[in-house]
Amino acid sequence: MFNDSLKQLSERLANREISSVELTTEFLRRIGKLNPQYNAFITVDEEKSLAQARHADQKIAAGETGPLTGIPIAQKDIFCAKGWLTTCGSKMLSNFVSPYDADVIERFNRAGAINIGKTNMDEFAMGSSNETSYFGPVRNPWDAAAVPGGSSGGSACAVAARMAPAATGTDTGGSIRQPAALCGISGIKPTYGAVSRYGMIAFASSLDQGGPMAKSAEDLALMLNVMTGFDERDSTSLQREKEDYGRDLSKPLSGLRIGLPREYFAKGMSSDVEKAIEQALDEYRRLGAETVEVSLPNSPLSIPVYYVLAPAEASSNLSRFDGVRYGYRAQAFQDLAEMYRNTRAEGFGAEVKRRILIGTYVLSHGYYDAYYIKAQKLRRLIAQDFKNAFKQCDVIMGPTTPAVAFDLGEKSSDPIQMYLSDIYTSAANLAGLPGMSIPVGFGDKMRPVGLHIIGDYFSEARMLNIAHQYQLVTDWHQRAPDL
């Protein structure tokens, strides 16, 4: 049952083979068993989850069901959920109980899904290993010595360890795709604006995008159907007609043109990852796709551009955490300035402070043009690269990460090395394009490898089709660590 797809679980519920309360209880039990070791969840609230499950069972009894009714979903702790502790992985919000629901949470509630718990994450989504969480690191279910990736490491771990059938994540520079790759699950960051940011605690507003993490492309489609949609409370939300992301899943792939960026395959990729990626591409060729070489000449700039723009926005977004109205406030201070200083010095972790400092610096008088404006210009060039590439291909593929999961502590003292984990993923955020990762095998130390798929704007249904067809002929996505 823990390995069931969302569709299978939904069928079991519909057949009354199992009730939502029973299902929820099973998952809560598994969380109780595994979480002490893996630390995927910051908050689990059995009472709240079971109350939702009871409500879902009533709906099922009344025949008012949707595809996710009664199914437990893990929610990244970046999404505000009414009555739930919502910490964003930070000491700063370690006491913050949200008085309202994020748009994403509302949508899952309306769909009758069960919030099975709030997942661990890098502090304010800043990190690629989940080691910056105030609530301790998450461990990779495939190898407890390895990091799960980040920032949605708790969600990736929860799905990979089968503590939840599916989870939500957010992706600012790769925070859904990188942990999905490192934990051997599927994850998609849709086109910027597809998922409302209302109630999703902001890291870098112009890059942040919520998305689902699950075992398969098929499950991702069901999750996206619930998560996406116009929200007037988010001015950057896309006003588009509701679509069924699963509509094209079964289309054959013959004639598909897969673009392979020269720059992604040139250097930097470790050989074990390369081997798994090549095998996946061979599988695609067997499915009728052809591969063409494309070029993204500005892609080497995406990390420096990202590390100017994201911290710039973050430095401003995180100003509200000042100890005045909610959240952590320092105990000792003499005056207002000291209250701010002590609160923020004690409430934020090192990585968050580093980014606030970088962001403050690049926005400062005299540096703004050289950094922020320059980065914005390069951002447009990076987006233009993709536009050109999509004239030659339907999707772009490559590795999600340059290497498999690294060990805990391995990169935590070297921020530059850590930042390079997002080398392949951050360009999609800068361009606003949809990107996904699916498991395509194992590399060194039997740690998972993820295939990165970047599509054109609004091509999520096509991307899910491409992933699903692969998953029909392979079983990497069904592999689970033996826990």
Partner 1 sequence: MQWEIVIGLEVHTQLSTQSKIFSGASTAYGALPNTQASFVDLALPGVLPVLNRGAVERAIKFGLAVNATINSPSIFARKNYFYPDLPKGYQISQYERPIVEGGSIAIQVGETEKTIRLTRAHLEEDAGKSLHEDFHGMSGIDLNRAGTPLLEIVSEPDLRSSAEAVAYAKTLHALVRWIGICDGNMQEGSFRCDANVSVRPRGQEKYGTRCEIKNLNSFRFLEKAIDFEVERQIEILEEGGSIRQETRLFDANKGETRTMRTKEDANDYRYFPDPDLLPVEIAPDWIEQLRVSLPELPQARRERYVTEYGLSGYDAAVLTSSREMADYFEAAAKQLPERVKLCANWIMGDISARLNRDGLDIGECPVGPAHVAQLINRIQDGTISGKAAKTVFESLWQGEQGQDVDAIIEAKGLKQMSDNSALEKLIDDVLAANAQQVADYRGGKEKAFNALVGQVMKAAQGKANPAQVNAMLKEKLG
User: Looking at the annotation, which residues are catalytic?
Assistant: 76, 151, 175
Non-local CB neighbours of 187 within 8 Å, separated by 6+ positions: 152, 156, 169, 171, 176, 177, 179, 180, 211, 212, 213, 214, 220, 436, 437
Q: CB under 8 A: which stretch of 115-123, 170-178, 228-236, 277-285 binds partner 1?
A: 228-236
Q: Between 110 and 341, whose beta carbon lies closer to partner 1? A: 341
Near partner 1 in 291-350, by CB under 8 A: 312-313, 315-316, 318-322, 324-327, 336, 340
Lateral strand order in the sheet of 209-214: 41-43, 114-119, 72-76, 166-171, 209-214, 186-189, 435-442, 448-455, 395-399, 257-261, 290-294
Sole binder of partner 1 in the list 71, 200, 453, 464 (CB under 8 A): 200
Residue type, 381: L
| β-pair partners for 43 | 118
Residue 209 within binding range of partner 1, rule CB under 8 A: no
Q: Between 82 and 257, whose beta carbon lies closer to partner 1? A: 82
Q: Residue 435: which of 127, 222, 191 has the closest Cα? A: 191
x-or-dash string of contact with partner 1, 399-438, rule CB under 8 A? ----------------------------------------
Report d(CA 308, CA 358) in Å as an integer: 7
Size of the residue set binding partner 1 (CB under 8 A)? 45
Sole binder of partner 1 in the list 79, 135, 264, 470 (CB under 8 A): 79
Q: Between 47 and 335, whose beta carbon lies closer to partner 1? A: 335
Q: Between 320 and 387, whose beta carbon lies closer to partner 1? A: 320
Q: Between 141 and 311, whose beta carbon lies closer to partner 1? A: 311
Q: Is the dihedral of CA 46, 48, 50, 52 positive or negative?
A: negative
Task: Give burial (CB, 10 Å; 0-12/13-18/19+) of 57.
Answer: buried
Residue 109 within binding range of partner 1, rule CB under 8 A: no
Return the structure tokens found at 118: 């709030």
Near partner 1 in 232-291, by CB under 8 A: 232-236
Decide if 451 contacts 437 (C-beta within 8 A). Answer: yes
Non-local CB neighbours of 102 within 8 Å, separated by 6+ positions: 79, 80, 81, 196, 198, 199, 200
Report d(CA 311, CA 240) in Å as an integer: 30
Q: CB under 8 A: which stretch of 131-139, 229-237, 279-287, 289-297 binds partner 1?
A: 229-237
Residue 98 within binding range of partner 1, rule CB under 8 A: yes
Q: CB under 8 A: which stretch of 242-250, 256-264, 357-365, 462-470 binds partner 1?
A: 357-365
Residue 204 within binding range of partner 1, rule CB under 8 A: yes
Sole binder of partner 1 in the list 41, 96, 348, 406 (CB under 8 A): 96
69 half-sphere exposure, CB direction, 13 A CA radius: 22
Residue 363 within binding range of partner 1, rule CB under 8 A: yes
Sole binder of partner 1 in the list 109, 295, 360, 474 (CB under 8 A): 360
Return the structure tokens found at 233: 């409370």
Q: How many CB atoms lie within 10 A of CB 251?
A: 14
Q: Between 86 and 132, whose beta carbon lies closer to partner 1? A: 86
Report d(CA 323, CA 97) in Å as an integer: 15
Q: Residue 313: which of 395, 380, 392, 376 has the closest Cα? A: 376
Decide if 212 contacts 74 (C-beta within 8 A). Answer: no
Shortest distance (Å) from residue 206 CB to partner 1: 4
Q: CB under 8 A: which stretch of 111-119, 160-168, 227-235, 265-273 binds partner 1?
A: 227-235
Q: Between 131 and 231, whose beta carbon lies closer to partner 1? A: 231
- What are the residues binding partner 1 (CB under 8 A)? 79-80, 86, 88, 93, 96, 98-100, 102, 197-202, 204-206, 232-236, 312-313, 315-316, 318-322, 324-327, 336, 340, 360, 363-365, 368, 372
